[in-house]
Structure 1
């Protein structure tokens, strides 16, 4: 679409809601005003009366499983589900097969996305105990960040050599994003529960195995190391109230050297849900107590937590149905993250402005993403229309994930994504994807 005019939208942007029209040309927002008339007959007009217009969401943590694990997900299918949920840009993780720990493997993923992605894309480079030379070759202007697993998870890219860690923190040209769980604590806890139950450990024990102690011990060590070395650190998927004490709500955000993220599942679920959902809500870090759940949402409101993401990490139903020790951790989330947050808004727990801040503006700030994350003249036209009063139920026939299931199945959301635009092109409308048009772009970074 060369020219697009969105009329009568309630624009949620930069802490305010106002009604205005938005004119887009060649993928760029060129005008925002109270009333804009179509200047030529070849303008695609969308009447947004009764809906809210948000910047396209930026998800800083997804696992689209390509290459090597494409029976679970692909970049094409994962990004297709993402735009159905209003996510117009994603940053994907390195624990694929082979792992993204060399420049060659990194560029291979960019080539796949260039041909198949519905959403704008970037990838994280993976750190290991022995690839510092490769890390130093990564160009910060073209790659999102460095991912370190300080606790083992899917793909087992554990970095556990203290000297190596300090070296990476001291020398990395990229922001470091860390999965923080203490491996020794987890191994010890696992051994105790296997001795008691064998492989069929009750799922309710998961947050005791991957415990508060394991999370806090690892997060606090990473924060201390960042302070010692001056590294720029972003801690992924906080799951405990205790970890909030490691972070500050000092503003402006661009001046923070150490930041934090929370994921949808740690805001939505707590340990009482294991009885019904079982291993389908087995994540690393584990979903923990109701007190943790409430504290994490408050941490978002109070700005100790800077970003809300998904950690979208699908596995097949058959894989998830295995006994505890063989059931992988992770689940699909990109399609339902925004409707879940809007549900919290309906419950009076969070404002629309705060949702946009944490899911659109802040990822753009933290990763220095160029010309995205806001509704501004001169910015890329990544936009999402949502109807706050259009209930729908999550059911098999409207789940877009390749794995075919969702932890939200059976949930009725009050709000729905009605339209998603990527670089000014309509890619999704009312439960239907538009024909693939290859309009997504590689993210660029102002560094």
Structure 2
């Protein structure tokens, strides 16, 4: 029996810094061939005419919170991975601050089991570090898990790693990529105390980036980098939010040789502190969206390769939770369905090329985490692919939002570009604004 084939014709194929016109043949789960013209050899090949559309490798989102287990009133692996597929994100790496936390191998495997049964997109998880779980960290197989996540600020439960001796021991002991959330807790507590004295719990949201300040971010990031340099650890700093922090990173060496890397999230590229007036706590994130100057400096660092990866930090909460007063409103928002359309909007505005978008949200996460056979359009690679029409406008409305929480910080925004098809492991899983109910997701594997 021959393997199922799909032939994508007449696409503008975006890969490794170039856009070429051509065809892509998919056989089974993999890309079989790429050429200027490929003919269907039999009548049972699914042929898709991609005339006028761009074909991108599926995005790999290195930081999401899908809330399962334990917080499933906000989201589940099923609901959010479905939204990711509609947003052109074909693989995700999910964070450990669920309930229970992913800080034991047993809890990690339980999460993998949920994803194996319910995920619409390819999946892996971060293992979580605490002040007292080094033994568990050492049990984790780096070939089967994305990496290690440490909260050096803004943690839930007992996940704040604030013992310097433990931190150094973890940095010295693991070969995994250590991904960190960097905000100095002492600075934030002191700032919060000051504003609570003035306003009580109902602090105006505009003070969020002053409470979770540039100083809090820089102090924590610079300490983590110093420790990585001292121990030789492989460090990845999540969600940079300040211009000042970008100067801690280099573009002088290729990504594959970097020991210290960084990420920016879509909200820090899109919003600035002026948006709090209109969006309120809906754009309350940790770290906070900061000034327009910070946003522009982050863009500069992304485009000159001091920042390596674009991610979402997708972190849904219910609308009811978000509409609480400042101290009770949780930080985070849903983003996986709208991140790629938002980036393509920045392309239309002349801010970034499509080739650079692909580099930052597909190629580079694959290099950084050593993801096996994904993140590129190459023969022999898994066919995780996204077709986009750059001239097919649509508006984000309640009716077309797929997140379980039912809202988006982009509500009301009109995007010029539309994702028309998503392929996952060779299967067509999204078209005509619908995600297929047949699941084709696989656990990510790593070349380590």
TM-score, normalising length: structure 1:
0.99
Using the alignment, how far apart are the partners of 1:229 and 1:153 within structure 2? 24
Query: Is 1:128 matched with 2:130?
Result: yes
Using the alignment, how far apart are the partners of 1:76 and 1:154 within structure 2? 23
Query: Is 1:423 matched with 2:443?
Result: no
Map of 1:365 onto structure 2: 367
Check the 8 A contact 1:87/1:334 in 2, yes or no.
yes
Check the 8 A contact 1:79/1:117 in 2, yes or no.
yes
Match of 1:23 among 25, 34, 37: 25
Using the alignment, how far apart are the partners of 1:226 and 1:173 within structure 2? 12
Deviation track 1:87-145 (CA, whole Å, cap 9, x = no partner) reads: 00000000000000000000001000001111000000000000000000000000000
Using the alignment, how far apart are the partners of 2:391 and 2:311 within structure 1? 24
Map of 1:314 onto structure 2: 316
Check the 8 A contact 1:148/1:158 in 2, yes or no.
yes
Using the alignment, how far apart are the partners of 1:362 and 1:251 within structure 2? 14
Query: Is 1:6 matched with 2:16?
Result: no
Deviation track 1:21-76 (CA, whole Å, cap 9, x = no partner) reads: 00011110010001111111211111000100000000000000000000000000
Closer, same or farther: CA 140–28 of 1 in aligned 2, 3 Å: same
Structure 1: gaps spanning 5 or more residues: none
Give 1:4-403 correspondences, 5 Å limit: 4-155=6-157, 157-403=159-405
Structure 2: gaps spanning 5 or more residues: none
Map of 2:447 onto structure 1: 446
Secondary structure at the aligned position of 1:277 is classed as helix
Using the alignment, how far apart are the partners of 1:272 and 1:4 within structure 2? 47
Using the alignment, how far apart are the partners of 2:282 and 2:383 within structure 1? 36
CA RMSD in angstroms comes to 0.8
Closer, same or farther: CA 155–346 of 1 in aligned 2, 3 Å: farther
Secondary structure at the aligned position of 1:296 is classed as helix
Using the alignment, how far apart are the partners of 1:156 and 1:393 within structure 2? 40
Runs of 4+ with deviation above 4 angstroms: none
Check the 8 A contact 1:153/1:284 in 2, yes or no.
no
TM-superposed CA distance for 1:268, in Å, is 0.3
Secondary structure at the aligned position of 1:136 is classed as helix
Check the 8 A contact 2:175/2:234 in 1, yes or no.
no
TM-superposed CA distance for 1:232, in Å, is 0.1
